A and B are shown apart, each in its own frame.
Chain A
Amino acid sequence: MNVADKKRLLREMLFARRFEERCYEAYVERKIGGFLHLYPGQEACAFGVMEAARPGRDYVITGYRDHVHAIRCGADPKAIMAELYGKETGSSRGRGGSMHIFDVEHHFMGGYALVGGPFPLAAGMAKAIKMKGDDDIAICFLGDAANNQGTFHESLNMAALWELPVLYVCENNLYGIGTRIDRSTAVVEQYKRVSAYGIPSDQIDGQDIEVVFKAAQKAVKHVRSGKGPYFLELLTYRYRGHSMSDSNAYRSKDEEKMWSKRDPIIMLRDRLIEAGEITKDDYKAMDTEILDQIEDDIIAYAESSPEPKVEELEKYVLAENDPWVRGGKN
């Protein structure tokens, strides 16, 4: 990872942070409805892993905390914000919402709200990749608590059995909503659990993007070379509550403070400043630029976009004019 990459990543992560914080505000203003799960604190996970992959080409799938993964794959942040606003210009035309961001053109294959739902979908995408003989891979980002679903075990077994090109990334933020991992999970160290399926794995610091990148390079290389699945456990932390409706009362101030000292953006920023690659002012200017962009381009776009038409309520339920519904060419 060279200096230019680091500077770009700093900007991208800061953008993601500010984007999510602006979502928070818009939610408080009641511009955004439903459930809203934000990503601040975990940025190095998505950006570090994707830095080692091919964003826009490799197929990415995740849960409901999905805005930033979509952005990193190449989705237009304007379309994501418009989606959160429920607008027709949203990435899912206002039909999906925060938990269901999709950008299939950029191979971001969706955000799914059922905990553990994407595990088998990712394995299936990997099956399709393998059958077509492509060298793309499927990458599945999910949380720690998702690993207690049956789909985790069923999917790991099949992925290993059939040597499917899928990378499972566990963003272990230590909590499933308000239940800390040691209260829900017999084996706290998630990377150990996959050894039951003979899948290679690592547990690493998810707050240091350079560490994540390095581990992801190894993992991606393994998967892309046809050796089957890989499992990466990234130790991380979310700063806000699980969702906007979460009071976040179950975590101690000490714990929060400890993690805030390991902020992925601040750590990278300070490293670049120390190396003399950027100044504090550069960083501030960048931040201002980002905030302006979010306000002037992204929020303005979401605000001014049209609502979906009620007449189109039933569009997208089934395929339109599919000839096989009528028996095809008979």
Chain B
Amino acid sequence: MAELMYWEALRRAHDEEMANDPLVICMGEDIGMAGGTYKATQGLYDKYGAERVIDTPISENGYTGLGIGASFLGLRPIIEIMSVNFAWLALDQLFNSAAKVRYMSGGQLEAPVVVRSPGGVAHQLGAQHSARMEKVFMGIAGLRVVTPSNPRQAYGLLKSAVRCNDPVYINEHELMYNFKGEVPDEEYFHPLEGSEVAREGKDVTLFGYNISVHWCLQAAETLSQQYGIEAEVVDLYALSPLDRAGIRASVNKTHRAVIVEEAEAPVGVGSEVMAIINEECFFELDAAPVRVSAANVPMPYNHTLERAAIPKADDVVAAVRKMFGK
């Protein structure tokens, strides 16, 4: 197994899928000649040419719709939206066209596109470059939403997403492209549904996804070493559909749940997971589930305010200690 950076894992998945199928194309702003803002398509323009690695104009709704239309006729576009904040402009085509076309055509037409985009809070990018939009995508029937927390998932999820016949939105993170992790040397396809236990534990389940998985793992170490609490960490790499069975299994084992999200609490992953826990394992609970979420504010520029607005591992530790009265 080789250790790759997150962006290298994405690049490898792009490259392999383009080599495997001449109908796979990539589209986005600066992804071709310039190699991509986060290098996920570096070198592919030279390798596959301008017809297949397409530098688009800054027309998010337009090129997303163009990719969707191309997918109607069998192309497999991987659309990179430079930042999730700009994806708002493409939601019309993604939601109204891609997500609904199978249903409203009675199964005649499908839109096998992949849209990938980095969200999350980076460093002082301000209100219009710090959106966490996964909550928006995961409420749309007909659209799959996945969010890799490590290079192995980034690689395997993209490969499966390209081959899957549904539209898939891949939620990445501005700060994670240089994260390192092991990726299998052989070809690997990650399931688009389910969840992974990132750390076994018996006392409490910490649910995380994407960057918050790392906060959960950090918190779990502290809880174990300083408080004797063994936390299980469940990585919800699939946000739509969410893994009901996985959520139930872990909560039935630990009887306590904390959901950790970088996003604001209202109408989010946390509220959704909490609802599932309520529906699936209410009588198994030893404590009321808790959310650790971001402040509900447009992201401030000031460094101190920005750090105060989003959770960190210490907040997770504090939430668990409170739950246990420690």
A residues lining the B interface (CB < 8 Å)? 59, 61, 90-97, 100, 102-105, 109-110, 112-114, 117, 119-129, 131-132, 138, 150-151, 154-155, 157-158, 161-162, 315-319, 322, 324-330
**Which B residues, 54 to 96, have Cβ-Cβ distances below 8 Å to chain A?**
54, 56-57, 59, 61-75, 92-93, 96
Q: How large is the interface on B (under 10, 10 to 19, 20 to 34, 35 or more residues)?
A: 35 or more
Q: Is the CB of A319 within 8 A of B110?
A: yes
- Of B93, B108, B189, the contact of A120 (CB 8 Å cutoff): B93
**A328 near B61 (CB under 8 angstroms)?**
no
Q: Max chain B CB contacts within 10 Å: which of A94, A155, A328?
A: A328
Give the distance to chain B from A309, nearest Cβ to Cβ, in Å. Answer: 13
Q: Is the CB of A319 within 8 A of B108?
A: no
What are 16 A-B residue pairs whose CB atoms fall within 8 Å in the complex?
A: A91-B106, A95-B103, A95-B106, A110-B101, A110-B105, A114-B97, A121-B65, A121-B72, A124-B68, A151-B62, A154-B57, A154-B61, A315-B107, A319-B110, A324-B160, A325-B191
Q: Is B202 an interface residue (CB 8 A)?
A: no
Q: Which residue from chain A places its CB closest to the CB of B50 in the assembled complex? A: A162
Q: Which chain B residues (179-233) contact chain A, with CB distance < 8 Å?
A: 188-193
Choose from B51, B75, B92, B108 the contact partner of A92 (Cβ within 8 Å).
B108
* 10 A-B pairs with least C-beta separation: A124-B69, A154-B62, A120-B65, A93-B106, A121-B69, A128-B73, A154-B59, A92-B106, A102-B105, A124-B70
Which of the residues B70, B104, B105 comes within 8 Å of A104, measured between beta carbons?
B105
**B interface list, Cβ under 8 A from A:** 23, 25, 51-52, 54, 56-57, 59, 61-75, 92-93, 96-97, 101-110, 141-142, 144, 156, 160-161, 163-166, 188-193
B92 is contacted by which of A105, A117, A132 (Cβ under 8 Å)? Answer: A117
Query: Which of A59, A110, A113, A161 contacts B73, CB < 8 Å?
Result: A59
Q: Is the CB–CB distance between A127 and B75 below 8 Å? A: yes
- A-chain residues with CB within 8 Å of residue B62 when the two chains form the complex: 119-120, 123, 150-151, 154-155, 157-158
Q: Output the least CB separation between A115 and chain B (Å).
A: 11
Which residues of B lie under 8 Å from residue A59 when comparing CB positions?
73
Q: Given the known A-B contacts A92-B105, A96-B104, A125-B72, are A317 and B25 also in contact in the complex, defined by CB atoms under 8 Å?
A: no
Which single member of B71, B103, B166 contacts A322 (CB below 8 Å)? B166
If the complex has contacts A112-B97, A324-B164, A325-B193, are A319 and B106 also in contact, measured as CB distance less than 8 A?
no
For the complex, give the distance between the alpha carbons of A114 and B97 in Å.
9
